[in-house]
Structure 1
Amino acid sequence: MACEECFGTIFRRKLGRCTACMWQLALLSAICWPLWYWLYHTTPRTVNSIALLFFCGAFSGLLLLHLLVLTYRRLRGRR
C-alpha cells in the first residue's frame, strides 16, 4: 500500500485510517463481483467460481471492516 500508515503501524491501527487501502478494496470489490456474475453465476460449484467468491468476500469484508472502524472512530471523536 502507498500511505505512511500502512508502512509504520500494526494492522489494528490501520483499520479505518488508510484511504488508499479503502479505495483499492472498493475498486477490487467493484471489479470482482460483476466478474463472478458474468463468468460463474451459472456454475457456482466449480473450483474457479468458489475461489473468486472467496476473493470477492475477502475484499468486501475487509472494506466493510474498514468502514465500520472509520465510522466508530468518527463517532467517538478519535482520528
Structure 2
Amino acid sequence: MACDACFSDVFKQKIGRCKTCMWQLTVLSIICWPLWFYLFSDTPKTVNSIALLFFCIAFSGLLALHLLVLSWRKLTGRE
C-alpha cells in the first residue's frame, strides 16, 4: 500500500512510519474481520472463506508489524 507521504521504495524505511498505510490497514481490518465472521464463519473450508481469511490475517499482521516497529522506534529514539 503506497501513499503520497512515503517517497522511498525501501520497505524497511517505511515500516512503522507511514501513518496513511496504518490507517488504511486499520480500516481494512475493521471491515474484513466482521465480514468474515458474518458471512463465512459457518463454512470455513470454502475457497471464498479461506481467501477472505488470508486477507484478514495479512491486513492485521501488517498492521501489527507497523505498530510493533513504531513502538520500537519510539522507545529507542530512532524516529
- Is the TM-score greater than 0.5? yes
- In the alignment, residue 68 of structure 1 is paired with which amino acid? L
Pairs aligned (count): 78
Answer yes or no: is 1:10 the counterpart of 2:10: yes
Structural RMSD (CA): 0.9
Query: 1:78: Cα distance to partner?
Result: 1.2
Runs of 4+ residues over 6 Å off in structure 1: none
- Unpaired segments ≥5 residues, structure 1: none
2:64 equivalent in structure 1:
64
1:42 equivalent in structure 2:
42
Counterparts of 1:34 and 1:24, CA distance in 2 = 16
Query: 1:26: Cα distance to partner?
Result: 0.2
What TM-score comes out, normalization by structure 2 length? 0.94
Counterparts of 2:54 and 2:73, CA distance in 1 = 28
Counterparts of 1:61 and 1:42, CA distance in 2 = 23
Counterparts of 1:21 and 1:48, CA distance in 2 = 25
Counterparts of 2:12 and 2:74, CA distance in 1 = 16
Percent identity between the aligned chains?
Answer: 63
Would you say the 8 A contact 2:25–2:60 is kept in 1?
A: yes
Higher helix residue share: 1
Counterparts of 1:23 and 1:73, CA distance in 2 = 18
Query: 1:76: Cα distance to partner?
Result: 0.2
